[in-house]
Amino acid sequence: MKKLFRALGALTLAASAFAAASSASSAFAADKVVLGVAIPTATHGFTGGIVWWANEAKKELEKAHPDLKIIVKTAAGAPEQANQLQDLVTVNKINALVIFPFESASLTQPVMQAKKKGVYVTVVDRGLTDTSAQDAYVAGDNTAFGKLPAEYLAKSLNGKGDIVALRGIPTTLDNERWAAFEGVMKQHPDIKILDAKYANWNRDDAFKVMQDYLTRFKHIDAVWAADDDMMIGVLKAIDQAHRTDIKEVFGGAGSKEAVKRIMDGDKLVKADVSYSPKFIYDAIKLTAEARLKGDKLPPTTIIPSVLITKDNAKQFYYPNSPF
């Protein structure tokens, strides 16, 4: 638009004012969208998937939209991510942001500062402590993440049996999942939850927790691992203990390993629930295409969690993804 105005410098003041008014009426949609993506570094399977899907979004969306530039930044900690936000605003001149906060509390103010400078903000998964710092929120369905496995296991066990559970990290996200799981199980009094301990969404920690369960409980019918990384640790412990009483291990998030096991007819991993890191791709796509049109997203968008079984597993299998 600036080049156009320079070329028309000879026009009268009235004509220039009219052109400026016309430009203003078309608002954001006429300008190039420079979208910053701030995400954690790939330290484990899920965040590896986040990074992979973010770069897939950059590659595909920039090819489809010449007026779109996407800048992806990964951070190993909250202070680094806060510094990256400042650079994205002041150096890269972004006008839209999609952020998967490394931490909720410490990133709220840096995100708020970006928003105050006119940046459109979409927060993904880990909510901020002050929602006024964001324009939109995109996340997976944490209630369904806990509810679907509980309903599946209750049916699989015919409403009777002994279950152990592994939880993630003490967070509101984990609390939502556990409350949903426990809520379903309360409707099945003949299913007993023997114990539920935190294993920090970590394979090694899950291995240790499951070893403890196997030592303490001589009979276990099923395990809700509540995460596919933790599921791997659980399976390793069961294998080493040579336990044959366990009929099912249910993970969570729809990793390619879990989905492949389901497709191949694994004797213990028969189902999973989707909570794919692909939601960062969805958030970037939704935000970019809305801003290119000058539109806004709804305040909250929840990406549904779906029960994955052998019947639909192929739809959730992404072999090129690191997760």
194-203 as b/e: b if 16+ CB within 10 A: eebeebbbbb
Please indicate, yes or no, if residue 197 is contained in any of the structural domains: yes
Q: Are residues 129 and 172 in the same domain?
A: no
With a pLDDT cut of 90, the percent of the chain lying above it is 77
Please indicate, yes or no, if residue 13 is contained in any of the structural domains: no
Please indicate, yes or no, if residue 321 is contained in any of the structural domains: no
Q: Are residues 152 and 190 in the same domain?
A: yes
- What is the C-alpha to C-alpha distance for residues 309 and 34, in angstroms, rounded to an integer? 40
Q: Are residues 48 and 115 in the same domain?
A: yes
| pLDDT over threshold 80, residue 29 | no
The pTM score is 0.74
Split at pLDDT 50, 70, 90, the class of 8 is very low
Please indicate, yes or no, if residue 167 is contained in any of the structural domains: yes
CATH number of the domain that residue 214 is part of = 3.40.50.2300
| Joined tokens for residue 89 | 């605003």
| Joined tokens for residue 297 | 């997203």
Residue with token string 């291990």: 249
Please indicate, yes or no, if residue 182 is contained in any of the structural domains: yes
Please indicate, yes or no, if residue 262 is contained in any of the structural domains: yes
Instruction: Count structural domains, the chain.
Output: 2
Q: Are residues 298 and 203 in the same domain?
A: no
**Could you give the residue ranges of the DSSP H alpha helices within 157-200?**
172-185
Q: Are residues 269 and 148 in the same domain?
A: yes
Could you read off the pLDDT of 281-316 as tens digits, one per residue? 999 999 999 999 999 999 999 999 999 999 999 999
Range of the domain at 221: 142-273
Could you read off the pLDDT of 92-151 as tens digits, one per residue? 999 999 999 988 889 999 999 999 999 999 999 888 889 999 999 999 899 999 999 999
Q: Are residues 113 and 158 in the same domain?
A: no
Split at pLDDT 50, 70, 90, the class of 31 is confident
